[in-house]
Amino acid sequence: MLSVRLERPNDFEEWRGKARRLLIAGMKPSQVVWRVGSEESGLFEAGDDMLPNTDGPIGSVPRQFIELAGDVIQHSDPQRFALLYHLLWRLQDDRRILDNAADGVNSLLTRMASGVHRDAHKMKAFVRFRAVHQNGDERYIAWFEPEHFTLESTAPFFTRRFAGMHWGIITPYASALWDKENLHFGPGGSKKDIPTEDAVEDDWRTYYGAIFNPARLKVAMMKSEMPVKYWRNLPEADRIAPLIRNARQMEQDMIARATTQPPARHMRQKARVIEEESQPIQSLADAAVAIDNCRRCPLYEHATQAVFGEGPKAAEVMFVGEQPGDQEDLAGRPFVGPAGQVFDDAIKNAGIDRSRLYVTNAVKHFKFIPRGKRRIHQKPNAGEIQACRFWLNLEREFVKPRIVVALGATAAQSLVGKAVSISRMRGQPIDLADGSVLYITNHPSYLLRIPDPETKARERQKFQEDLALIHTHMQRLEKS
Ligand code: URA
């Protein structure tokens, strides 16, 4: 048994170098154990110094694997290195494994990659900086306990967002420090290194109290979006219980005040610390940050947040929906609600793996009218679609998909530049000016709304046929 030692728990390049040498040496996955840092080797394990140090050829590795492995390597499961090597080994003979959602290791790794994405998302949402004064300078420091090794990949988000501050994020396994120019990583720390209270806390509490909407209180959903595990590190956590307790009264007060209070957007704007878009947008990640300040149309005023696209940053296929729905607006992610469920089932049936897709919307803010406690979806108008093309165009420019799929009339209008008929345009690839190919099909929520079971079954069938065409095109691209 060969013991392969990695110095760092989440360094993809380090793992890749060793995996490459293992492949060249013809070492089967069953002959290898992976160890990290000072973890002890077993009694009968040989060290990896006997591996060839050459850079000999190995079969080409699909880009999709590299993206998946870059995420999975950050997972906390100790089996991650072995699972990745197992998949890499099999890919040498069969590149199609990555398209096989039923393959056990492939689907396990895809789930692990999603867990890593969720963890990074939580870090972005729940890091709370505290102000510390040092030699007359103000520094900000935060304690965060990620589930996985996600600090290194997530810290650049904070450098863009808080570019003008000296800040540090300390986790149990590593720390990140930003000195307004460079990002440095160092060892982990402990919660007691962080001051417990400061002036910024009050701002968080005020902000939280101001954005709390008693009419939309859903305790279970709130706990899943803001897991209780993070509450202990959130300054605003002590406001949550009283706010929930008083929600009914607050709701009644809100209704009573409704005619005299200033528009909600003024209150929200006041409470929100708005960072103006100060940097040019040079990457997809820059765009994902800048969109938080989008004022290109009035939809930002009432939506909870802009919902940017998600998926591999060089995905070959981009699916474009209409706009986030109620659940997407709360979660900040596209296609996670009921339409997302229909979408997931249909692409799975067609053999398309969502983790390979970049999924986004033509319009990034939820448009709705309030009705009682519900928010009823409204179709975006031509002006809103046009205003938001700026963001969709940026996504297309950075991701450079070779296939673009318009789900529904709004997406088709945004991509073609004018209103089009889906029934006439579906089923045929359309060449776009940037060299990509557009497919137009129905929106999954259209299928959800059809009352007549026969029509519904027929439309679902047509939808599946469109997806099958897209899948065939994807397979052709892979072979070319
Ligand atoms: N409908 C869309 O068009 N996009 C979503 O993200 C959700 C529902």
Decide if pLDDT at 415 tops 60. Answer: yes
Beta strands 137-143 and 130-134: pairing type? antiparallel
199 vs 172: which has the higher pLDDT:
172
Closest by CA position to 357, among listed 335, 388, 341:
335
Beta strands 430-431 and 437-441: pairing type? antiparallel
Q: What is the pLDDT of residue 277?
A: 42
361, 379, 384, 443, best to mutate for ligand 1 pocket (most atoms within 8 Å of CB): 361
Decide if pLDDT at 129 tops 90. Answer: no
Q: How far apart are CA 104 and CA 452, in angstroms?
A: 37
Amino acid at 443: H
User: Rounded mean pLDDT of 158-187?
Assistant: 89
Q: What is the pLDDT of residue 72?
A: 97
Q: Are 41 and 47 in contact (CB under 8 A)?
A: yes
Decide if pLDDT at 421 tops 90. Answer: yes
237 vs 83: which has the higher pLDDT:
83
Cβ of residue 360 lying under 6 Å from some atom of ligand 1: no
* Planar angle of CA 468, 331, 392, nearest 5 degrees: 55
User: Rounded mean pLDDT of 333-339?
Assistant: 95
Amino acid at 58: I
Q: What is the pLDDT of residue 140?
A: 84
Phi/psi class of residue 37: alpha, beta or left (left: φ > 0; alpha: ψ in -120 to 50)? left
In the reported structure, the alpha carbon of residue 214 is separated from the centroid of ligand 1 by a whole-number distance in angstroms of 25
Q: Are 178 and 141 in contact (CB under 8 A)?
A: no
Q: Which two tokens stand for residue 109?
A: 């790794």
Among the residue ranges 154-168, 217-231, 240-254, 455-469, the one predicted with the least confidence is: 217-231
Closest atom, ligand 1, to C-alpha of 444: 1
Split at pLDDT 50, 70, 90, the class of 205 is low
Cβ of residue 322 lying under 6 Å from some atom of ligand 1: yes
Q: Are 140 and 165 in contact (CB under 8 A)?
A: yes
Decide if pLDDT at 262 tops 60. Answer: no
Closest by CA position to 120, among listed 145, 154, 77, 163:
154
Q: What is the pLDDT of residue 211?
A: 47
The alpha carbon of residue 103 and the mean position of all alpha carbons in its chain are separated, in whole angstroms, by 24
In the reported structure, the alpha carbon of residue 307 is separated from the centroid of ligand 1 by a whole-number distance in angstroms of 10
Split at pLDDT 50, 70, 90, the class of 276 is very low
Closest atom, ligand 1, to C-alpha of 333: 6
Decide if pLDDT at 106 tops 70. Answer: yes
In the reported structure, the alpha carbon of residue 166 is separated from the centroid of ligand 1 by a whole-number distance in angstroms of 38
Cβ of residue 380 lying under 6 Å from some atom of ligand 1: no
In the reported structure, the alpha carbon of residue 262 is separated from the centroid of ligand 1 by a whole-number distance in angstroms of 30
Strand partners, 33: 3
Q: What is the pLDDT of residue 60?
A: 72
In the reported structure, the alpha carbon of residue 225 is separated from the centroid of ligand 1 by a whole-number distance in angstroms of 19
Q: What is the pLDDT of residue 199?
A: 46
448 vs 232: which has the higher pLDDT:
448
Strand partners, 108: none
Instruction: Quote the pTM value.
Output: 0.48
Decide if pLDDT at 470 tops 90. Answer: yes
Closest by CA position to 414, among listed 348, 318, 339:
318
Amino acid at 63: R
Q: What is the pLDDT of residue 261?
A: 43
Residue 317, C-beta contacts closer than 8 angstroms, at least 6 positions apart:
352, 356, 357, 358, 401, 402, 403, 404, 405, 470, 474
Q: Which residues of 237-269 are buried (b: 16+ CB within 10 A; e: fewer)?
A: bebbeebeeebeebbeeeeeeeeeeeeeeeebe
Kindly calculate the radius of gyration of the chain based on its CA atoms and give it in whole angstroms.
Answer: 25
Decide if pLDDT at 274 tops 50. Answer: no
Q: Which two tokens stand for residue 334?
A: 């596209």
In the reported structure, the alpha carbon of residue 340 is separated from the centroid of ligand 1 by a whole-number distance in angstroms of 7
State the number of CA atoms in the 13 A half-sphere of 59 facing the CB. Answer: 12
Split at pLDDT 50, 70, 90, the class of 161 is confident
CA dist 304 → 95, 123, 366, 367, 390 (Å): 41, 19, 8, 10, 20
User: Rounded mean pLDDT of 255-272?
Assistant: 47
Per-residue pLDDT of 282-307, as tens digits, reads 899 999 989 988 999 999 988 899 99
333 vs 212: which has the higher pLDDT:
333
Q: How far apart are CA 318 and CA 120, in angstroms?
A: 22
CA dist 321 → 31, 309, 404 (Å): 46, 10, 11
Decide if pLDDT at 173 tops 60. Answer: yes
Transcribe 329-374 into DSSP letters: HHHTSSS-SHHHHHHHHHHHHTT--GGGEEEEESS-S--EEEETTE
225 vs 119: which has the higher pLDDT:
119
CA dist 182 → 137, 168, 297 (Å): 17, 12, 35
Decide if pLDDT at 226 tops 50. Answer: yes
Strand partners, 75: none
Per-residue pLDDT of 344-397, as tens digits, reads 999 999 999 999 999 999 999 999 988 877 889 999 999 999 999 999 999 999
Q: State phi, psi for 131 to the nearest 5 degrees.
A: -80, 135
Q: Which two tokens stand for residue 258?
A: 């409704």
322, 378, 447, best to mutate for ligand 1 pocket (most atoms within 8 Å of CB): 322
Per-residue pLDDT of 31-53, as tens digits, reads 999 999 877 766 666 677 667 67
Q: Which two tokens stand for residue 478?
A: 């892979």
- Give burial (CB, 10 Å; 0-12/13-18/19+) of 210: middle
Percent of the chain with pLDDT over 90: 58
In the reported structure, the alpha carbon of residue 253 is separated from the centroid of ligand 1 by a whole-number distance in angstroms of 33
Decide if pLDDT at 30 tops 70. Answer: yes
Domains and CATH numbers, the chain: 2-122 (no CATH), 128-193 (3.10.310.20), 205-256 (no CATH), 264-479 (3.40.470.10)
State the number of CA atoms in the 13 A half-sphere of 348 facing the CB. Answer: 10
Q: How far apart are CA 205 and CA 417, in angstroms?
A: 44
Q: How far apart are CA 191 and CA 169, in angstroms?
A: 11
Closest atom, ligand 1, to C-alpha of 321: 3
Q: What is the pLDDT of residue 259?
A: 41
State the number of CA atoms in the 13 A half-sphere of 378 facing the CB. Answer: 17
User: Rounded mean pLDDT of 213-226?
Assistant: 55
Cβ of residue 442 lying under 6 Å from some atom of ligand 1: no
Cβ of residue 321 lying under 6 Å from some atom of ligand 1: yes
The alpha carbon of residue 270 and the mean position of all alpha carbons in its chain are separated, in whole angstroms, by 28
In the reported structure, the alpha carbon of residue 368 is separated from the centroid of ligand 1 by a whole-number distance in angstroms of 13
Q: What is the pLDDT of residue 213?
A: 55
Cβ of residue 335 lying under 6 Å from some atom of ligand 1: yes
Q: How far apart are CA 127 and CA 107, in angstroms?
A: 30
Cβ of residue 325 lying under 6 Å from some atom of ligand 1: yes
Q: How far apart are CA 351 and CA 373, in angstroms?
A: 38
Split at pLDDT 50, 70, 90, the class of 244 is low
- Mean pLDDT (the chain) is 85
Split at pLDDT 50, 70, 90, the class of 272 is very low
In the reported structure, the alpha carbon of residue 354 is separated from the centroid of ligand 1 by a whole-number distance in angstroms of 15
Decide if pLDDT at 441 tops 50. Answer: yes
- DSSP 8-state class, residue 94: -
Q: Which two tokens stand for residue 363?
A: 């319009």
